[in-house]
Chain A
Amino acid sequence: MTDYILNLLTLIIIMSMITLCLNVIIGYIGYLHLGLVGIWAVGSYAYALMAVHGFPFFVAMLGGGIFAGAAGLLLGLPTLRLKSHYFGIASLGLMYIVYSLLLNLTDLTRGPLGIPGILRPTLFGISFSGPAMYFVLTLAVSLVVGFLLYRILKSPFGKILETIREDEIAAKALGKNTYAYKLQAFVLSSFFVGIISALSASYFQYISPTGFQVEQLIFFLAALMVGGAGSFWGGIVGAFVLLTIQELTRFIPLTPNAVGPVRTMIYALLLIFVMLYKPDGLMGKKMKVYQR
């Protein structure tokens, strides 16, 4: 029972952190980032491949961050000049490109077979493979990432990101190089998604292309909308609520083939409920998906 709770908490922390990274883009600069799962896939594969080839844990983790950050840079350079909704479509494209690369670059990725045997690390002679120790590792890394993002988002730099969400034209007219800010925010968000990818890949100990699709994107978007985009705790709270509810559905006596549909229905009801009674999410600010 404790193992079960610890595993669940570990997963919640991991998904919260990825939702937080999504919040940096959707909530702070106000750009509809639909390429998140593509970035997550790049980070996960980079980490997994380095890990199974014997790189030390933190090196592989940094590798995940750097590759994900580079993917963010490549996507952001041409597309962050576009307006939010065009950016949304372009970034969604990234997810499909990454997905088909993962399927087809079989020499590197093993295609649909995925990469098994991604071990949890042993650091300073201590094994972090058990639920309790892995929870501790996840919490420690997430606290560091969360602290860094908190400092950044609450800083004057973060304020400028918010002016871009509020009114990008006005920000430009005040002398802000908004493109440079957007690009930095995007690379930063992608880098941290890559860092967290190390935790998620080692959590599941197996990754494959099917784990990086629209379904996962919808989870993160829903978590952010429920929690509230644009407030630091929004994505974190949203992921917590959604995953908790998802777990509770396990205790409803259902035939196995009803579990999926019921879960989706509960998401949908929850979203409708939030949109009706708390349109800005539980924590917060407006999610702007268009620009004037």
Chain B
Amino acid sequence: MNVLQVQNLHKSFGGIHAIDHCSFSVEENSITGLIGPNGAGKTTMFDLINGLLTPDEGHVLIKNQNVTGWPTYKRARLGLSRTFQAIRVFPELTALENIVVAFKGHPSKLYQAFVPLKKKNRDLEKRAMEYMETVGIADKAHLRAGDLSYGQQKLLEIARCMATDADIFLLDEPAAGVNPTLLNTIKQLILKLHQQGKTLLIVEHNMPFLMSIAHKIIVMNFGKELAIGSPEEIQNNPRVLEAYLGKKREE
């Protein structure tokens, strides 16, 4: 089953067709790579999928529901989560708080300021701690999130997505700018999420990394899908080599 479908999606900024009548779908419990040269429209595609941008034409379907007009928060509640190319943690909150606020059961209604929540809050913190352990930054739980290293913030962002109980993860360049050890941690984390039945759509420039985990690759160029196939097919597709991989290899 396809949990995510993009149909004939179009988005222009002034004269630039950032997304140019693009269509593809993502299968449930798959790891799908989304690649393309810089400026191909990958981040814009994520913004359209999670509702930060509205398309000029076309549709976005999540779990077979047409969510095209929906606000971002409603799409998130449907099980869609994402990380950002430029990290967006809540820097003045502690790392732990960053996770606690992401829980669906976070008792954040106004009236709940006046009911006793000690136990509930302790439970939430305990659960948040488990997520911090999963991504391996439990010892940083009580630091200001803004004081974590770049890599730790990336892990925190993924943990925060997990805490929302999402089953679809859009990861925007999870491997960019991280050292080999962390790269491996992130890889294991992605494989673990996949094992738990989650669906992942990953934008990434690190080809060995992506090719080693992805089941399917979607190549975008100039806002359009250029090729869709298995990692092997994509690596041997002459059009892709010309538009993207070929140039890279010559470097």
Binding site for B on A (CB under 8 A): 151-152, 154-160, 162-163, 165-167, 169-178, 184, 188, 230, 285-286
Contact indicator B108/A156 (Cβ below 8 Å): yes
A167 to B, closest residue via Cβ: B88
Contact indicator A159/B93 (Cβ below 8 Å): yes
Contact indicator A285/B92 (Cβ below 8 Å): yes
A177 to B109, CA, bound (A): 11
The answer, among A173, A174, A175, A286, for a CB contact under 8 Å with B92, is A286
Contact indicator A157/B101 (Cβ below 8 Å): no
Contact indicator B71/A172 (Cβ below 8 Å): yes
B93-115 to A contact mask, C-beta < 8 Å, 1/0 = 10001001110101111101110
The answer, among A158, A171, A178, for a CB contact under 8 Å with B113, is A158
A168 to B, closest residue via Cβ: B88
Contact indicator B102/A166 (Cβ below 8 Å): no
Contact indicator B84/A170 (Cβ below 8 Å): yes
The answer, among A156, A166, A169, A170, for a CB contact under 8 Å with B106, is A156
Residues of A within 8 A of B107 (CB): 156
Residues of A within 8 A of B202 (CB): none
Contact indicator A163/B101 (Cβ below 8 Å): yes
Tell me the minimal C-beta distance from B146 to chain A in angstroms.
9
8 contacts between A and B (CB under 8 A): A156-B100, A157-B113, A159-B93, A166-B91, A169-B52, A172-B76, A173-B50, A176-B101
- Interface size for B (C-beta < 8 A) is 34
Contact indicator A162/B92 (Cβ below 8 Å): yes
B73 at interface (Cβ–Cβ under 8 A)?
yes
Residues of B within 8 A of A176 (CB): 73, 101
A176 to B, closest residue via Cβ: B73
A231 to B152, CA, bound (A): 26
Tell me the minimal C-beta distance from B93 to chain A in angstroms.
6
A285 to B146, CA, bound (A): 13
A286 to B144, CA, bound (A): 13
Contact indicator A167/B71 (Cβ below 8 Å): no
Contact indicator B102/A174 (Cβ below 8 Å): yes
B58-100 to A contact mask, C-beta < 8 Å, 1/0 = 0000000000000111101100011010001111110001001
B10 at interface (Cβ–Cβ under 8 A)?
no
B5 at interface (Cβ–Cβ under 8 A)?
no
B160 at interface (Cβ–Cβ under 8 A)?
yes
Contact indicator B93/A169 (Cβ below 8 Å): no
Contact indicator B73/A178 (Cβ below 8 Å): yes
B199 at interface (Cβ–Cβ under 8 A)?
no
